[in-house]
Amino acid sequence: MNVLLLSLPDYFEHMPPVAIRMPNGALTSLTGNVDPHHRVAVADLILSHRRVGETVTRLVREFDPAVVGLSVMTFQRRTAGRIIDLARTLKPGLKIVVGGYDPSLAPEADEEIENAHNATDNESARAKHESRWPLPALAACGMEVAMPTKKLREFLDVQGIPYLAISHAVAYTAKEIAALTHISNKELAKTVIVKIDGALAMAVLPASYEVDLSLLRAATGARSVSLAKESEFKDRFPECEIGAMPPLGNLYGMAVYVDDTLTTDKDIAFNAGSHNELLQVSYADFERLVNPKVLKFSGLADVESLGAWHL
């Protein structure tokens, strides 16, 4: 039987990646305890954290494992869920075993283990549940992905999109951000979450403009259009700060509507999931990546008083 053991690529922002490589050493030591008629491969995904989807795809296809084991820490659970989904997409019926510091993926795995040393019992894994992770698989495999803030740049890298990362002091309004970054309000794109016939969508427009709901309703041909409440959409962006969602609705299963005034800009900048960093890309690349619907729905005003969550 072929067994593929994976340690995950996530690490803390201020912690050297090498500090998270300990699980890989433990997995490697386990292979010496596996019966000789089994083949075991170990992959340290932190060494390919910019190509995780590509790497897992290649390993599953080339090594053809019967069992995939993951060592999972608490902060790595979302990534583990995506890898589980990806592996099962590549090979239906594949057995999944999870363990490590947070072996709490029982609904997603075929078997969970309390101690990584029990990984030699992989042959006893039985399917208990189908994967129910709400997050799709990794972007490198061409699927949608819900992303943490610091992974957004990696997503753009995978897609071949040039960008400029701009860090600034924490700011919550478009006016403050424009002042701190010296980017004009016209080129600063804000994201307003709206409901169109009950479905969540993104309205993206220059920071100095407001969404005219009547124009948006007419342009979309919808029966009803309203601003979404935080409680209605915050769960769609679990790894973004509220009000700092990037305008990449295709990553979150949401339609994106861009006001036509934004299309005249050579470059646009937008929040990267936090209130202290922007990403700047060419509008042409943004349009190619997101494929938004371009409409006319804006008017000059200050949207702050409307209570919409944006930028």
Residue with tokens 């305008």: 247
CA 121 to chain centre: 33
Helix (H, G, I), strand (E, B) or coil at 51: coil
Please check whether the domain covering 149-306 is classified as CATH 3.90.960.10.
Answer: yes
Cβ pair 71, 119 in contact under 8 A:
no
pLDDT for res 23: 53
Q: Distances from the Cα of 150 to the Cαs of 11, 276, 303, in angstroms?
A: 11, 12, 28
Vertex 298: Cα angle to 229 and 225 (nearest 5)? 40
Task: Give the helix, strand, coil percentages of the chain, each rounded to 5.
Answer: 35, 25, 40
Place of tokens 């189908």: 130
| Distance, CA of 311 to CA of 306 (rounded, Å) | 14
DSSP characters over 74-88: GGGHHHHHHHHHHHH
Six token digits for residue 261: 């005034």
Q: Are the beta carbons of 291 and 283 closer than 8 angstroms? A: no
What type of residue sits at position 142?
G
- Which tokens in the block code for residue 99? 């363990």
- Distance of CA 307 to CAs 208, 213, 293, 297, Å? 15, 14, 24, 18
What's the pLDDT score for residue 294?
A: 96
A 10 A CB-CB count for 20 gives: 20
Q: Report in angstroms the alpha-carbon separations of 6 from 32, 46, 59, 84, 243.
A: 16, 10, 10, 11, 35
Question: For position 109, what pLDDT does the model report?
Answer: 60
Give me the amino acid identity at 18: V
CB 309 within 8 A of CB 242: yes
**pLDDT for 135:** 29
Over its length of 311 residues, how does the chain's per-residue pLDDT go in tens digits?
899 988 888 765 545 555 555 555 566 556 555 667 788 888 888 777 678 888 899 899 989 999 998 888 777 777 888 899 899 989 988 999 887 655 455 555 655 544 333 333 333 333 332 232 222 333 333 333 334 456 787 788 878 888 888 888 888 887 788 888 888 888 899 999 999 999 999 999 998 899 999 999 999 999 999 999 988 998 888 778 888 889 998 888 899 999 999 999 899 999 988 888 888 999 999 999 999 999 999 986 544 433 344 44
* CA–CA distance, 239 with 303 (Å, rounded to integer): 24
Place of tokens 């067994």: 3
Q: Are 263 and 294 in contact (CB under 8 A)?
A: yes
> Could you tell me the residue ranges of all domains in the chain?
2-141, 149-306
The CATH number of 2-141 is which of 2.60.120, 2.30.30, 3.40.50, 3.40.1400? 3.40.50
Instruction: Name beta bridge partners: 40.
Output: 3
Closest CA to 208 of 244, 243, 183, 180: 183
